[in-house]
Amino acid sequence: MTDRTTGSHPHGAGPERAGRDESSVRGSTEPPSLPLFGPGSQFHAFFDDPRWALAVVRATVLEAAHPQIGAALIANSTFVAHPWRRLRNTLLSLRRMFGADEQVRQREAARLNRLHARLSGVDERNRPYDAMDPEIRAWVVATLFESTVTMCRLSGQPLDQATMERLYTEFQAFLAVLGDRAGHLPPTLREFWPYYDRVVEEELENTEALRIILYRLFDHLPAPPLLGDLPTVWAAGRALAGPVLGAITVASLPEPFRRRAGLPEIPGARTLTQGAYLAMGLARFLPDGWIQGQAMADLLSLPPDSDDPRARTLAALRDRTKRAGALLRLLSPLAAEPDPAEEGRPVQRSAGEFFDEVLDQTGDGYLDWPDLAAMAREVSGRLDLDEPEETRLYDAYAHWWRELQAALDTDGDGRISRHEYAAAVPSLAGPALIRVAEVLFDVTDADGDRTIDAEEYRALFRTGFRRELADVDGACSRGAFVRDFLCFMSGRRRSTAYDPLLAEA
C-alpha cells in the first residue's frame, strides 16, 4: 500500500493506514448542523490557501492519467493553448459550487452538466469516453479530495480524522449536487482509500494528456495576459520554475503509478516537494484577505491595456522596468535582442497567426468542432448563460463549423489544417459567421433593448466600453457590434476587446 506521506512502499499498513481505518470505524464526529458549503465549511478554508495551487495541479495530473479523462482533455480542452483561461474558469466554477448561495450552485451544476453532456467520443485506441460517465466524474472529485489531504500532509499539517471525514462529506455533497447517484464515490472514508488505491494501481495510464502537462505545459507555459508584454522576464522565470514544478508534481504522485508509468525518480525531489508545500503553507500567517485564489486568477487574466486599476498600477511598474532594461542595454557591451513588447504588435495578423492564436483553441494544430465549441463555452461562461441562450450560441457555432468544413477541408479528414486554412486565405464573413455575430449580440444584450450598454459590454469583455462603437445614445447597436465582430474574425485585425476573449492564454 502506498504511503502518501513519502511515496514509499511500507512493509506494513503503517500509521497512515491505521489512522484512516480508525477514523472510518468511529465515523464522523462532526455535528450534522455544520454547513457543507460556503463559510464554515472545511473546503472554504482551503480555497484561498496557496498550497492548494500545487494540490490542484497534482489532481489535474491524476485526472489526465485516467484514459477516459485524458482522451477528453486532448480532444476538447483548451488547457494547452489557453491554460490561464482554463485555470480561472475552474476556480470560478469551484467557487460557485462551494459558495453559500444555493441558487448559484444549482445554476452552475446545470451549466456543468450541459458542458459535460457535449463531451464524448473515442480515444486513439478506439475506446469510448463520456464526460457524463458518473464513475469518471467520481474520480475527478476523488482526486481533488485526496490531493487536498496530501497537500496538508506534505506541508506538515496533516488533517485530523474528524476534519478528513468532514471534508470527504463535503466532496460527496458536491457530487450529489451534480445529480450523480450515490455509490460511484464510496459512501465512507474507510471504503474510499481501497477504491482510490485500486484506480491508481489498475486504471491510470501514462496518457498523452499527462505527458503534455508534465513535459510540455510546464516548460512552455505561455505568459498570463497581464504579463504578455514582458516575454523575456516571463521566459527567464519559467525556465527556472517549470522544471521545479514538474519535479514537485511527479514526486507527489502515488508511487505505484510513478513506477508503472515510468516517471523519473529525481534525487532530492521528495525533500523539495515537502519543502515547497511547507513554504507555501507559511502563507497562513498572513492577514486574512491578503491571498484570494479567484482574485489572483482574475488579476493574471487582465490584459495589459485593461481599464482595471490593478492593471494600470502594474502597467506603470512594467514601464519602469522597461526603462531600466533599456538603460542596462545602453551600458552593455553586447547587443541585446529586441524586445517584441517594445516594438509593438502589428495591427494585422497573417492567416497563420490568426489560425494559431484564435481558431486553434485546443492547440493541436487543427481546426475542428472542439475549437469552435471552446469559443462558445468561453462566451457562455462569461455571460453565465442559461438555456436556451446557451444552446442558441452553440448551434450558431456548429452551423459555422459545417460551413468552414465544407469550404476548407480539402483532404476530407474531418478537420482543417493550418496549411488548408492559410492556402485558401478565405473571407470568413459568410452567412454562418454573421449568424454567430447576431446570436452573440442577442445573448450579450441581457435586457433585450437591442443595444449593448457599458455594463453588458463589460460582462462579455471584462473591460470598459469602447466609445467608438457607441452609435445609439451612447450604446452599441446591433449593426456596430456585428461589424466589429466580423472585422476581427474575417479581417484578422487585432482587437482590444476580442483578443482577450478568444486569443489570450
Q: Going residue by residue through the chain (505 aa), what tens digit of pLDDT does each one get?
A: 444 433 333 333 333 333 343 333 334 444 456 789 998 898 888 877 888 888 999 999 999 999 999 999 999 999 888 888 888 888 889 889 999 999 999 999 999 999 999 999 998 889 999 999 999 999 999 999 999 999 999 988 899 999 999 999 999 999 999 997 656 899 999 999 999 999 999 999 999 999 999 988 888 888 887 777 777 878 888 888 888 889 999 999 999 999 988 998 888 888 888 888 888 877 666 666 555 555 555 655 666 566 666 555 655 655 665 555 455 445 544 444 444 444 445 567 788 888 999 999 999 999 999 999 999 999 999 999 999 999 999 999 999 999 999 989 999 999 999 999 888 765 567 899 999 999 999 999 999 999 999 899 989 988 877 666 666 677 899 999 999 898 888 766 787 788 888 888 7
pLDDT at position 444 is 96
Q: CB within 8 A of 470, min separation 6: which ones?
A: 476, 480
CA 57 to chain centre: 10
Cβ(254)–Cβ(4) below 8 Å: yes
Look up residue 398 and give its three cell numbers: 456548429
DSSP 345-365: --SB--HHHHIIIII-TT-SS
Residue 71 in contact with residue 127, Cβ under 8 Å?
yes
Chain centroid offset of residue 206 CA: 21
Residue 480: C-alpha distances to residues 343, 397, 428, 464, 477 (Å): 31, 20, 18, 17, 5
pLDDT of residue 80: 85
Q: Which long-range contacts link 7-13 to residues 24+ away (Cβ below 8 Å)?
A: 7/251, 7/252, 7/253, 7/254, 7/255, 7/258, 7/270, 8/255, 9/255, 9/256
The confidence score (pLDDT) of residue 470 equals: 65
Q: Which spans in 178-285 are helix H? A: 189-202, 208-212, 231-252, 255-261, 269-281
Closest CA to 377 of 126, 198, 119: 119
> Which pLDDT value is given to residue 14?
34
Q: Provide the 10 A C-beta neighbour count for residue 114.
A: 17
**pLDDT reported for residue 219:** 85
Q: Give which of 244, 192, 285, 213 is closest to 63, Cα–Cα.
A: 213
CA distance 134 to 142: 12
CA distance 237 to 221: 11
Q: Nine-digit cell at 327?
A: 538603460
Query: CA 63, CA 249: separation in Å to the nearest integer?
Result: 13
Q: What are the helix (H) ranges across 332-463?
A: 340-343, 351-354, 369-383, 389-408, 418-424, 431-444, 454-461
The answer to whether 51 touches 281, Cβ cutoff 8 Å, is yes
Write the CA distances from 182 to 134, 135, 174, 187, integer angstroms.
10, 11, 12, 8
**Which run of H or of E encompasses 320?**
helix 309-331
